[in-house]
Amino acid sequence: MVRFDTPAQNITSLSADCLAIGLFDEDALSGSAKAVDTATRGLLRKLKASGDLPLRPGDTQLLLDPAGLKAKRLLVVGLGKRKDFAQRGWRKAVSAALGGSLKMRAAHLALAIDQPESDAVGDYYLGRAVADLTGSALYRINDFKTARKPPRPALRRVSLAGLSAAAQTAARRGLVQGDAIAAGQSLLRDLGNLPGNVCTPRYLAQQARELARSHRNLKVRIFDEAQIRRLKMGSLLSVSRGSAEPPRFIAMEHRGGARNAAPVVLVGKGVTFDTGGISLKDPAAMDEMKYDMCGAGSVLACMLVASLLKLRINLVGLVAAVENMPGSRATKPGDIVTSRAGKTIEILNTDAEGRLILCDALDYARRYEPAAVIDIATLTGACVVALGHHFTGIMGNDTDLAQELVAAGTRASDRGWQLPLTEDYAEDLRSNFADLANVGGRYGGAITAGAFLGRFTQGMKWAHLDIAGTAWLSGAQKGGTGRPVPLLADFLLQRAGVNKA
């Protein structure tokens, strides 16, 4: 565990294993670089003149035992041109400082990297981002490698140095919140990274139970297959029919708000493995379908964040957990099922299973008369085609709610983009045999999936986050990202009014 603080001392008199400062690619020294240069009798100016300092953003140079500084090491991080330096560059520089201090096994890092002027993050967000980035830097995949594990990271303390008294108070609030958000992200990443043979619907239910056991302000209720049948979730059950793994429906509650205040309800897609079912997927990268429960993981993570921060808000987390497999009992293309809402669905493609479990969970959300209901799902490959890996797809039936989520994502550096969910798209879902089909045409697949969900959320303020492109990375850096926990946590913090002055 890392401890965070905001010491009042001058950065030059701070005793740390490593002091990290930023350096702009320009002639004059400024900010923390100037203070360090003065205390070291022009060390930086000399190094700069000899061409030994990093200038490109994110590059670093380590100096040992700099005379005039209390810190044992000085890590100079390049910030690039001042006019191009913004939030993104600042985050990159902080990550570089964290990466550098992990490599040198510093126990105490003091951070004094200047904030961007143009695109100021503010002192509160400064604290939040540092805690959040520290969590990411320290995260290790819960792997199954049997060779000896690398040593635990040495980092124990991170100080935000050189802040004014007012800035310290705001930054400390940010650090506390960022730390909780990092815990949520790390839970989500762990759950996502686990293989499908470990992280099953029953495993997710167990984790939810565990969360409620260790956090007294959380309540949990788990529904087994028979109970799910009693809830009339015929659409959800049609997805798990082909699997030997029984489904679970999870309902969690955090009652931090006024007794009769309408809750925010989060609904997560928890397909613990998505083979596609009878509409079997192509083998390429099918292993990544173990991440198809990241919506569910996000919901558990948000419950954790709300509980850690004792948010004064009523929050409900619903998770539909199933495994999508082919088998002799599996649902076949053309099969017609009856959803909890009573609508009949013609399942034309068993690989469009996320919407089939979400529609029943969203209908269940009605009983809470929610202030807002937000579903989170790795729902469509089409969303990845549309937005790539940078933006979460956001849509719904209430523009204010969708824009509230977009704004939360921007503040949290976990961005989303609203897609146009108009009634045009619902027309693609016509079926000759049932109330609606589970797939539309070839184009606009992220939005037709949203339109399908929209048929089950009338009368509620609803938004849908398609995180198919943002929840994990492929290739050499394959792994969960912890997104969209920062976005959702920011939304919840705003709703709870935590940061109102």
Provide the CA 346 distance to its chain's centre, in angstroms.
33
What's the CA gap between 27 and 48, in Å, rounded? Answer: 9
At 286, list the tokens: 């099918």
Residue 70: active-site member = no
At 71, list the tokens: 């810190």
Interface with ligand BES (CB under 6 A), residue from 176, 183, 384, 498: 384
> Beta 248-255 vs 218-223: how paired, if at all?
antiparallel
Within 252-311, the residues that bind Mn ion by CB under 5 A are 274
How many Å is the Cα radius of gyration of the chain?
Answer: 25
384 exposure class (CB count in 10 Å sphere: 0-12, 13-18, 19+): middle
What's the CA gap between 372 and 375, in Å, rounded? Answer: 10
What's the CA gap between 53 and 76, in Å, rounded? Answer: 7
Residue whose Cβ sits closest to Zn ion: 274
Could you say which of 355, 411, 415, 483 is catalytic? 355
- Using CB under 5 A as the binding rule, whether residue 297 contacts Zn ion is answered as no
Q: Which of the choices Zn ion, ligand BES, Mn ion, none does residue 492 contact, using the CB cut-off of 5 to 8 A by kind?
A: none
Residue whose Cβ sits closest to Mn ion: 351
With beta carbons less than 8 A apart as the criterion, state whether 383 and 393 touch. yes
Interface with Mn ion (CB under 5 A), residue from 114, 132, 346, 351: 351
- Determine the size of the site formed for Zn ion (CB under 5 A): 4
Within 318-347, the residues that bind ligand BES by CB under 6 A are none
- Using CB under 6 A as the binding rule, whether residue 468 contacts ligand BES is answered as yes
Q: How far is the CB of 354 from Zn ion (least distance, A)?
A: 5
Q: How far is the CB of 377 from ligand BES (least distance, A)?
A: 8
Interface with Zn ion (CB under 5 A), residue from 17, 132, 245, 274: 274
Q: How far is the CB of 446 from ligand BES (least distance, A)?
A: 8
Q: Which stretch binds Zn ion (CB under 5 A): 129-137, 138-146, 254-262, 273-281?
A: 273-281
Q: Which stretch binds ligand BES (CB under 6 A): 158-166, 225-233, 259-267, 351-359?
A: 351-359
What's the CA gap between 456 and 347, in Å, rounded? Answer: 16
Provide the CA 416 distance to its chain's centre, in angstroms.
11
DSSP string, 39-73: HTTSHHHHHHHTT-S--STT-EEEEES-TT-SSSE
Within 155-174, the residues that bind ligand BES by CB under 6 A are none
Interface with ligand BES (CB under 6 A), residue from 37, 114, 351, 428: 351
Q: Phi and psi at residue 466, in whole multiples of 5°?
A: -95, 110
Question: Taking the chain, what is the end-to-end CA distance rounded to the nearest angstrom?
Answer: 30
DSSP state of 178: H
- Using CB under 6 A as the binding rule, whether residue 382 contacts ligand BES is answered as yes
- Using CB under 6 A as the binding rule, whether residue 200 contacts ligand BES is answered as no
Within 92-151, the residues that bind ligand BES by CB under 6 A are none
- Using CB under 6 A as the binding rule, whether residue 445 contacts ligand BES is answered as yes
- Determine the size of the site formed for ligand BES (CB under 6 A): 16
Closer residue to ligand BES, CB minimum distance, 337 or 468: 468
Interface with ligand BES (CB under 6 A), residue from 37, 253, 353, 363: 353
Q: In sequence order, what are the beta bridge partners of 269?
A: 320
Phi-psi region at 66: left, alpha or beta (left = phi > 0; alpha = psi -120 to 50) = beta
DSSP state of 435: S
Could you say which of 91, 232, 281, 343 is catalytic? 281
Element (H, E) at 324: strand 314-324
Residue 73: active-site member = no
- Using CB under 5 A as the binding rule, whether residue 292 contacts Zn ion is answered as yes
Binding site residues, ligand BES, CB under 6 A: 274, 292, 349, 351-354, 378-382, 384, 439, 445, 468
Binding site residues, Zn ion, CB under 5 A: 271, 274, 292, 354
Binding site residues, Mn ion, CB under 5 A: 274, 351, 353
Q: Which residues are catalytic?
A: 281, 355
